[in-house]
Structure 1
Amino acid sequence: MTTHNTATRDEWMAARLELLAAEKEFTRRSDALAQQRQQLPWVRLDKAYHFDTDAGKATLDDLFQGRSQLMIYHFMFGPDYTMGCPSCSMIADGFNGFAVHLANHDVTLHAVSRAPLAKLQAFKKRMGWTFPWASSSGSDFNFDFNVSFTEDQQRNKGIAYNFSTEPKFVWRSGQEGDSAGPVADLARGTGTDPATYTRERPGMSTFVREGGEIYHCYSTYARGVDGLWGSYQWLDRAPLGRNETGIWWRRHDEYKQTPAPAAHACCV
């Protein structure tokens, strides 16, 4: 017998209509935020950035692939990583499906990471992804758009990420930070330690080409990319919601290596 609140169909309908009003208000607010986002001033880029791509050396202009708009997902895959971040990998699992739709609406979706191109290509092949993914190795691109940081910043200044400055990283007993906890688990999943892992961060930035110039339009970080994390949009509508305790997700080809989850109390 469930411990969750139950009701008659008529009572459910009354509660659902109350929720519907709140959902509609949320949708209207989301529409207004989208308009506010599009009204942000643009910043013309004067700096040249170069990338390694499947087609060879490329400029930022080349990443547009002839379209007027470019959306870049800042995928956490640093030079010292052995694999891409599990969280970014879960987000990127949705890119194949909608990249073609964006491309046919004058928008190019591109992932960018600091790892060497060969690492990105190998991981992309393993994951079965087809979206374009460039390496910014040797470029200031990730640093200029606040998704990669130096050890000096981490140790001595505190990383300035997501429009605020974090405390200096805590270094313990010669180790690269704490060896337990969610961040340590994610770091181990990339073959690194917490310090190295967190010198890369997730985010998304958008650019536009107009009048022969490239402009930076928008960037978002941390939970600002929640809306791109398709699995969570589904879970937020599931009966038990996100229902999580710690890092439960894996790269999609790793689930077979983990035991099936225990039945939830409502299922037994």
Structure 2
Amino acid sequence: MTTHTTGTREEWLAARLELLDAEKELTRRNDTLAQQRQALPWVRIDKSYRFETDQGGASLADLFGGRSQLIVYHFMFGPDYKAGCPSCSSIADSFNGIVTHLQHHDVAFWTMSRAPLEKLQAYKKRMGWTFPWASSSSGDFNFDFNVSFTEQQQRDGEIEYNYQRGGHAMDAAPVPEPVVQFADTCGTDPSTYARDRPGISTFVMEEGVIYHTYSTYARGVDGIWGMYQWLDRAPKGRNETGVWWRRHDEYGNG
């Protein structure tokens, strides 16, 4: 016998219409937030960045591929990892299908990590992904956009992530069990694992000048985490008691 509230179709419809009003309000609020993002001041980038791609060395301008906008997903795959972060991997499972649509709407899309290109290529092949993925291992890009940190910053407690110092689970002591688990699945220790973080950064190019327009981190990435958007609409919601997801080739046959 279910313990959840049950009712008639008429009672369900009344409750659903009340929820619909709340959903519409959230949609309008999301529209307002999108406008606030787009209204942020642009910050000119004069620093030169170099990346390694499947097509060879590339500058930040090259990543635009002739388009005026660029979205970068900062994927947790540090140079000492043996495999990409499981959370980032589950997020990236939705990337293959969006690239073409973005490209045909004047938006270039790249995933970016500090691991050497050959590691990214091997992992990409394992996962069956086709989206563009660049290595930023040779420069400061990840550090400048606050998704990678040094051992010294860790030791000194000077990591600033998601626009604040401290407060993130990866910086907690003792180390939370999920961080230990994820580090282990990446073939590294928690400290090394925590020196890279997830995020999204966006850029625009006008008259040959590149500007940084927006970055988001931590829970700010939830909106593109495809499985959660579906689970939030499932009867039992996220229904989580701990870390349950895996890389898509690590689930059993169930």
Cα distance in 2 for residues equivalent to 1:169 and 1:104 = 40
SS in 2 for 1:97: coil
The amino acid across from 1:86 in the alignment is P
Equivalence for 1:17: 17
Per-residue deviation, 1:65: 1.1
1:127 positional shift: 0.6
**One-letter amino acid of the counterpart of residue 67, structure 1:** R
Deviation sequence 1:125-163 (CA, Å, 0-9, x none): 111111100000120000000000001101113310000
Q: Work out the CA distance in 1 between the residues paired with 2:142 and 2:177.
A: 26
How far does the alpha carbon of each residue in 1:190-246 deviate from its partner, in whole angstroms, 9 at most, with x for none?
Answer: 111111111000000000010110000000000001001011000000000000111
SS of structure 2 residue aligned to 1:255: coil
8 Å CA contact 1:158–1:169 kept in 2: the answer is no
Corresponding residue to 2:198 among 202, 214, 221: 202
Q: What is the identity percentage for the equivalent residue pairs of Structure 1 and Structure 2?
A: 69
Q: How does 1:168-247 map to 2 (within 5 A)?
A: 169=171, 178=175, 181-247=177-243
- Cα RMSD (Å) of the superposition? 1.4
List structure 1 runs of 4+ shifted beyond 3 angstroms: 167-171
User: Secondary structure at 2:211's aligned position in 1?
Assistant: strand
> What residue in structure 2 maps to residue 156 of structure 1?
156
SS in 2 for 1:83: coil
In the aligned structure 2, how far is the partner of 1:251 from the partner of 1:144? 29
Looking at structure 1, the residues matched to 172 and 236 of structure 2 have their Cα atoms a distance apart, in angstroms, of 36
Tell me the residue number matched to 1:131.
Answer: 131
Amino acid at match of 1:188: D
> Which residue in 2 is equivalent to 1:61?
61
Q: Relative to 1, partners in 2 of residues 1:7 and 1:41: Cα closer, same or farther, differing over 3 Å?
A: same
Is residue 64–residue 108 contact of structure 1 (8 Å, CA) maintained in 2?
Answer: yes
TM-score using structure 2 length: 0.96
Q: Which amino acid aligns with 1:136?
A: S
Does residue 252 of structure 2 align to residue 256 of structure 1?
Answer: yes
Which residue of structure 2 lines up, in the alignment, with residue 264 of structure 1? none
**Distance verdict in 2 for CA 1:169–1:235, change over 3 Å:** closer
Which amino acid in 1 is paired with 2:113? S
Q: Distance in 2 between matches of 1:49 and 1:245?
A: 41
SS in 2 for 1:35: helix
Q: How far did residue 169 of structure 1 move?
A: 4.9
Shift of 1:112: 0.5
- Kindly state the Cα deviation for residue 71 of structure 1 after the two structures are TM-superposed: 0.1
Alpha-carbon distance in structure 1 between the residues aligned to 2:57 and 2:208:
20
Distance 1:237 1:46, change over 3 A: same
Where structure 2 has 5 or more consecutive residues not aligned to the other structure, the ranges are none
Following superposition, the deviation at residue 62 of structure 1 comes to 0.6
Judge which range, 59-68 or 160-169, deviates more.
160-169
Distance in 2 separating the partners of 1:164 and 1:170? 14
Q: Distance in 2 between matches of 1:190 and 1:25?
A: 41
> What corresponds to 1:42 in structure 2?
42
Tell me, what secondary structure is at the counterpart of 1:256? coil
CA contact (8 A) 2:171 2:194 kept: no
